[in-house]
Amino acid sequence: MPTVMGMPALRLRSMTAADLGLVRAWMTEPHVAKWYLSGSTIEEEIADLEKCVTGKEPTHALVVVQDGRDIGWCQWYRCTDYPEHAEAVDAEPNDIGLDYALGDPTRIGRGVGTALIGVLVAHIRQRHPGAGLIADPEAANRASRRALEKNGFVLQGERAMASERTDAPVAIYRLPPSPV
């Protein structure tokens, strides 16, 4: 398998209902729970993902695989499918939102998160080359912010948003569309 930054390359596969147990386990990991459960519960997060994998929500949920092992998950969605959130992040009409998490604690602090964002950007751009990309991690999540910045995302602002489950401010990042 080809390598990325000296590590086995990452690939993405569609999440299925069978993956929800693994995602549930990852959400109990302190490095995930700190950010994903600060204003939510595991049950709420899993219920949201279940809607995605069953087609009841228009978000595309994916599992991140490295060297044959599931190590995390990510998702992307057209911002226009979630108008309240799109307005809160000042999304442009063709923007795509994205979220990501490394569930496997052995992958933290090794550049895998940065690589994950790069693979997710490529995945989305292959499907929507003219789209800008939006990510909005909690403002205090320095590791996530650094990984976005290493992938060319630019900070648009920081603020609390009514569309989020927490009152903590988020850092809104945008990657402009690729030049055509």
Work out how many domains the chain is built from and give that number: 1
Residue 180 lies in a domain: no
Residue 79 lies in a domain: yes
Residue 101's pLDDT is 96
State yes or no: pLDDT of 3 exceeds 60.
Answer: no
State yes or no: pLDDT of 170 exceeds 70.
Answer: yes
Residue 23 lies in a domain: yes
Residue 150 lies in a domain: yes
Is the distance from CB of 15 to CB of 61 less than 8 angstroms?
yes
Residue 171 lies in a domain: yes
Residue 16 lies in a domain: yes
Q: What b/e readout covers 79-90, taking b as 16+ CB neighbours within 10 angstroms?
A: bbebeebbebbe
State yes or no: pLDDT of 6 exceeds 80.
Answer: no
Residue 70's pLDDT is 98
Crossing angle (nearest 10°) for helices 142-150 and 112-127 = 50
Instruction: Calculate the average pLDDT of the chain.
Output: 92
pLDDT tens track for 104-159:
999 999 999 999 999 999 999 999 999 999 999 999 999 999 999 999 999 999 99
Residue 24 lies in a domain: yes
DSSP state of 138: B
Range of the domain at 80: 3-175
Residue 106's pLDDT is 93
Which CATH number is 123's domain given?
3.40.630.30
Mean pLDDT of the 73-97 span: 96
